Amino acid sequence: MKKFFKILSLIVCTVLLAVIVYVAYVFISFHRIGDMPLTPEGQPASESVEVGKEYSFLSYNIGFGAYESDYGFFMDGGKESRAWSKERLEKNLNNISSLVEKQNSDFAFIQEVDIGSTRSYGVDERPYFSSVLKNYSRVFAQNYDSPYLFYPILEPHGASDSGILTFSKSRITTSERVELPIESGFTKLLDLDRCYSKSRVRTGDGHELVLYNFHLSAYTSDGKIATEQLEIILKDMESEFKNGNYCIAGGDFNKDILGDSSAWFGKADKDFTWAQPIPEGLIEKYPAVLVAPLDKTNPVPSCRNADSAYHDGQLVLTIDGFLVSPNVTVTSSEVIDTAFAYSDHNPVRMTFKLGAATEE
């Protein structure tokens, strides 16, 4: 009996030591990427953007290519921690990039593009888009580089390297990665690093069109950090607008940008609180206009909660859209209905014109 307890104690101590070592590894390995210049690539169709001409803009969170309509993610209440398989991932990425190519937008923001993650079998997803968007400038900003997450136990999520891609048919002259605040403590290990990319394109009137691509925090304690992140972007846009530039920001707000999406899409069969409305009056404090795409006669959500396969009654809402400065005129906006075939997000699109630059 004494020998049994001795062996049991040894096993318990070994497991406990392994847990301590792993937790130490996670905290020691965690790091922020920081601010940095980014290098634009590609051969764009034009050198500048014309004032008064209509252009189109696409934004699409591709869910690292894994979120087909039958997919549920473990951090959203589902069971899966990785794409179904490498073969299905690659097929889905081909479908996504084909959809983006067919839109033929003048500008595109793509979020959650993996470059070597366990969850996506180490596939670099950037070439799927650069190979079909050939007459564009492009720039990639790494959003996070996370240590190995050994959960779920039977199929760990692993390490995640992912970021955001910006495409422009007009030449991107300069670009930079701007770090955003994240929560402190253990929660930061779940929400990972966050940033936005800021890219500049010349305009025909001697100013610049400044493009802000973002994917704000989702897995936080109360949603306040995403509000702080949003306000930083709004302040940056305000500064550029005061300098006479045009500003367009877009991406995944991880906020219910309709205020109450259930009023348009119905109440869900389960309650989730991760996507709160943008605090009342926040955007109005700044020279910015929120573009929340909604067809009131045929409303289509931009996101589903991936707690299981897509089904009637699942939580759906609109968290993807744009912000524009007052000197940008939006002529249309829409959510493109894919029935969530390729991602837990539908792409969103708007058309716009640049007006005369405003001096303050």
Q: What is the pLDDT of residues 183-240, one digit of tens each?
A: 776 555 555 789 999 999 999 999 999 999 999 998 765 668 899 999 999 999 999 9
H or E stretch at 233 = helix 224-242
Provide the percentage of residues in the chain whose pLDDT is more than 90.
76
**Residue 114: both structure tokens together:** 């993996």
Strand partners, 103: none
pLDDT digits (tens, 9 = 90+) for 20-57: 665 565 556 566 789 999 999 999 999 999 999 999 99
pLDDT, tens digit, 9 for 90 and up, residues 309-337: 999 999 999 999 999 999 999 999 999 99
- Work out the end-to-end distance of the chain between its first and last CA atoms, rounded to an integer number of angstroms: 84
- Whether residue 332 contacts residue 351, with contact meaning beta carbons closer than 8 Å, is answered with yes
Three-class secondary structure of residue 302 per DSSP: coil
* Single-letter residue type at 324: V
Q: What CA–CA distance (Å, rounded) separates 22 from 197?
A: 32
pLDDT higher for 145 or 25?
A: 145
Which pLDDT band, with edges at 50, 70 and 90, does 292 fall under?
Answer: very high
